[in-house]
């Protein structure tokens, strides 16, 4: 069985009216990572990503290299109870 990882990511920074959530979703789908991403009312981006460990962390890397002023504020890893979302969605 492949090493699957589930992470919960928060991204802070200058994200007003940003295409960043869609870019994260597109890259995740391209890499076979499932989950969801959404803009929070306070301007942060929240994402849950699940899939093969290396691919998940490639998407986290995209988050770290986001638009000017963006930073990953936190990553919580949950390897114990993956939810196996069937599609990647933007909320």
The parent domain of residue 67 ranges over 4-90
Q: What is the dihedral of CA 79, 81, 87, 91, to 10 degrees?
A: -90
How big is the chain by its Cα radius of gyration, in Å?
Answer: 12
Q: How many structural domains is the chain composed of? A: 1
38: domain CATH number is 3.30.70.100
What residue has token string 């920074």?
13
Q: Extract the tokens encoding 4.
A: 């699957």
At 16-63, the pLDDT tens digits run: 657 888 888 899 999 999 998 888 888 888 888 999 989 998 998 888
Q: What is the pTM of this model?
A: 0.75
Cβ–Cβ < 8 Å for 90, 14: no
- The predicted structure's pLDDT at residue 90: 62
Q: Give start and end residues of each alpha helix (H) in 1-91.
A: 20-30, 53-64
Length reported for the chain? 91
Mean pLDDT score of the chain: 79
Q: Which of 32-36, 50-54, 69-73, 82-86 has the lowest mean pLDDT?
A: 82-86
Residue 1 has pLDDT above 60, yes or no: no
């Amino acid at each position: 069985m492949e090493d699957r990882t589930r992470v919960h990511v928060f991204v802070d920074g200058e994200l007003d009216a940003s295409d960043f959530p869609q870019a994260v979703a597109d890259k995740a789908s391209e890499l076979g990572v499932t989950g969801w991403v959404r803009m929070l009312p306070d301007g942060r981006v929240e994402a849950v990503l699940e899939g093969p460990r290396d691919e998940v962390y490639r998407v986290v890397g995209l988050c770290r290299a986001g638009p000017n002023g963006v930073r990953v504020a936190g990553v919580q890893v949950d390897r114990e109870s993956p939810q196996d979302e069937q599609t990647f969605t933007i909320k």
